[in-house]
Amino acid sequence: MQNSDATTKYLIHAKISADGVIERPDVVGAIFGQTEGLLGSDLDLRDLQKSGRIGRIEVNLKLKNGKARGTIDIPSSLDKVETAILAAALETIDRIGPCVSKIEVVKIEDVRASKRKWIVERAKQILIEAFDTSVPESQELAEEVKQSVRTEELCYWGPERLPAGPNIDDSDAILIVEGRADVLNLLKYGIKNAIAIGGTNVPSSIAQLSKNKVVTAFTDGDRGGELIIKELLRVADIDYIARAPDGKGVEELVHKEIVRALRQKVPVDRVRDYYLRPTPRRRHVNRVESETAHAAVTKTPLPEPAEPAEEVEPTGKANEQAVEEPSEAKVEIEVESRQASLRRQVEQVNGTGVARLLDGEYSVLKELSVAELADGLKELNGTVKAAVFDGVITQRLLDIAATKNIECVVGAKLGSLVKVPANVKVMTFDSV
Kindly report, residue by residue over 95-134, the tens digit of the pLDDT: 988 889 999 999 998 888 888 888 998 888 888 776 655 5
Name the DSSP class of 367. Answer: E
* Structure confidence at residue 307 (pLDDT): 44
The whole-angstrom separation of Cα 164 and Cα 180 is 8
Cα distance between residue 78 and residue 86, in whole Å? 10
pLDDT for 282: 39
Q: What are the pLDDT tens digits along the chain (432 aa)?
A: 444 455 788 999 999 999 998 888 999 999 988 888 888 888 888 888 888 889 899 999 999 888 999 999 999 999 889 999 999 999 999 898 888 999 999 999 888 888 888 899 888 888 877 665 555 566 666 666 666 655 667 888 888 889 999 888 888 899 999 988 899 889 888 888 999 988 778 888 888 888 888 999 999 888 888 888 888 888 888 899 999 988 888 989 998 999 999 998 989 888 887 887 664 443 343 444 444 433 433 333 444 444 444 444 444 444 444 444 445 544 455 566 778 888 888 888 888 889 999 888 888 888 888 888 888 888 877 788 899 999 889 888 888 888 888 889 999 888 877 778 888 888 888 877
**What residues does 356 pair with on adjacent strands?**
367, 388
For residue 250, give the DSSP letter.
Answer: G
Q: What is the pLDDT of residue 242?
A: 92
Rounded CA-CA distance 14/35 in Å is 16
What distance in Å separates the CA atoms of residue 127 and residue 129, rounded to the nearest whole number?
6
CA distance 22 to 100: 10
Under a CB-based contact definition with an 8 Å cutoff, are residues 426 and 420 in contact?
A: yes
CA 385/CA 60 separation, integer angstroms: 107
| Domain edges within the chain | 10-116, 142-276, 341-431
Write out the CATH class of domain 10-116: alpha beta
DSSP 226-249: HHHHHHHHHHS---EEEEPSTT--
Residue 103 CA from chain centroid, whole number: 72
Does residue 377 contact residue 397 with C-beta atoms inside 8 Å? Answer: yes
Does the global pTM surpass 0.75?
Answer: no
- CB of 428 closer than 8 Å to CB of 411: yes
CATH superfamily, with its number, for domain 341-431: AICAR transformylase, duplication domain (3.40.140.20)
Its CATH architecture, for the domain 142-276, is 3-Layer(aba) Sandwich (3.40)
